[in-house]
Chains A and B, each alone.
Chain A
């Protein structure tokens, strides 16, 4: 099955600086890579996703890059703001999608004022 590793587990950045979270995956057949943001006590919510036919995708301050050869993908947040503080999960899907996503263990992003 798929195995997703996520780093770092905690990331503290100054407000206005950029944050980068990295994930690696094991199944070369994986084709879909979403990122979720979870605020304290709330449900995870999709913030951006990328498919294997694309190397980069951007949505305002958030971007995701994918390197299929190296089997890693990254989340980039620019001009960080206090409301970006949350736990972020990467995920990958394999096996045709029926058995769901495999998640990384999460990154606690702390934005320092």
Chain B
């Protein structure tokens, strides 16, 4: 069966520091991978998605970036965090080319101080 791992679970970082969140998926190949942010409420905002290695699409311009160095690895990064980057970050995957559900990781609670 497929599993998704996301870490760390909680992170407190000062303003201006770098960020690296990692997500890996097991049990499937060539998944679609996504990063969502949920800030101060309930909405799920799509940040990035990837349909393959090295292929990243950005939905929202910001100081965050994403990379997919391997088929089942997705990384969210920032060179300098802002206070507004605080939130709950969720990695997710779905099958390649299909109207199928998203499967979410457990999320990372990021607090920028």
Contacts and interface: CB of A to CB of B under 8 A. Distances in A.
A65 interface: no
Contact of B94 (A38, A49, A100): A100
B34 interface: yes
Given A43-B106, A44-B104, A100 B99 contact: no
Interface stretch (B42-50, B63-71, B76-84): B42-50
A100 B96 CA distance: 11
Contacts of A106: 41-44
Contact of A32 (B41, B51, B99, B105): B99
Given A43-B107, A87-B42, A106-B43, A101 B102 contact: yes
A43 B44 contact: no
Interface residues of A, number: 26
A86 B49 CA distance: 26
B61 interface: no
A103 B36 CA distance: 11
A47 B42 CA distance: 17
Contacts, number: 59
A87 B88 CA distance: 15
A44 B44 contact: yes
B32 interface: yes
A1 B106 CA distance: 28
B43 A103 contact: yes
A113 B34 CA distance: 38
A105 B42 contact: yes
Given A89-B42, A100-B32, 15 more contacts: A32-B100, A34-B101, A38-B42, A43-B106, A44-B104, A46-B101, A46-B102, A49-B101, A93-B99, A97-B98, A97-B99, A97-B100, A98-B51, A100-B34, A100-B49
